[in-house]
Amino acid sequence: MKIIMAGKLALCRHGQSEWNLKNKFTGWEDVGLTPLGEEEALEAGKQLKGIDINFDIAFTSLLKRANKTLFIILEQMDLTWIPITHAWELNERHYGALQGKNKAEVAKEFGDEQVHIWRRSYDIPPPPIGNEDPSHPRFDGKYDGIDELPSGESLKDTLSRVKPYWENQILPELLGNQNVLVVAHGNSLRSMIKIIEAIDDESIVELNLPTGIPIVYEFNENMEPISKNFLADSEALQKAQDAVVKQGKSE
């Protein structure tokens, strides 16, 4: 029986965005990177180059903070020539009516517990925006021709679009022994990690992904992860994860 060798997979959340810095709910709002975010992307590229993975293909969302991070990483690795696929399915979770609002201010208005539910529950979405709201993605040319665009999503909703994309687009590349780089967003990557590691609904909400720190997976022939490495020292990783947790608190 022929054993199929799976390729390696690297996942990386985009570098710090302008609204990460301002502690705002960002979602599908298309904001850029801060100078620190560009530095994080550069460091991610250096770390990935240091472990000597030659990626064959890259995937990212339609949002420029992820696109810019990916371009910086690939430039640092001398891999700007590899194929890149942009997919709306890899966009961040849509935060509905919360998008553009400061997380701490929302926590003061509605309470830390309610904001924690909106941010971290598995299946409770935030208040949606209306279909006629000018910020609705149906008015954005990037999404022309896409049916059923979200007005607000839970993590479960995000998973429902990430899972078929993983199964139909990314997984076949890995099964073909291609090394794959995915640069996306906190919740689209959490959805992917939930699938890869078979994490239950209750536990996935506690997973905190900091900006700009790659995760590298290796798989066996059954596509079960046999190694998972964050490309950061443990102290820096813990500090970055703690910072993500604090974002939604009123103080």
- Give burial (CB, 10 Å; 0-12/13-18/19+) of 138: middle
Q: How many CB atoms lie within 10 A of CB 86?
A: 16
Q: Measuring CA to CA, which residue among 17, 22, 140, 26 is closest to residue 69? A: 17
Catalytic residue among 43, 92, 153, 173: 92
CB 65 within 8 A of CB 49: no
- At 81, give phi and psi (nearest 5°): -90, -10
Residue 47 to residue 110: CA distance in whole angstroms: 40
Residue 109 to residue 94: CA distance in whole angstroms: 21
| Residue 14 annotated in active site | yes
Hey, which residues does 227 pair with through a beta bridge?
218
Catalytic (active-site) positions: 14, 92
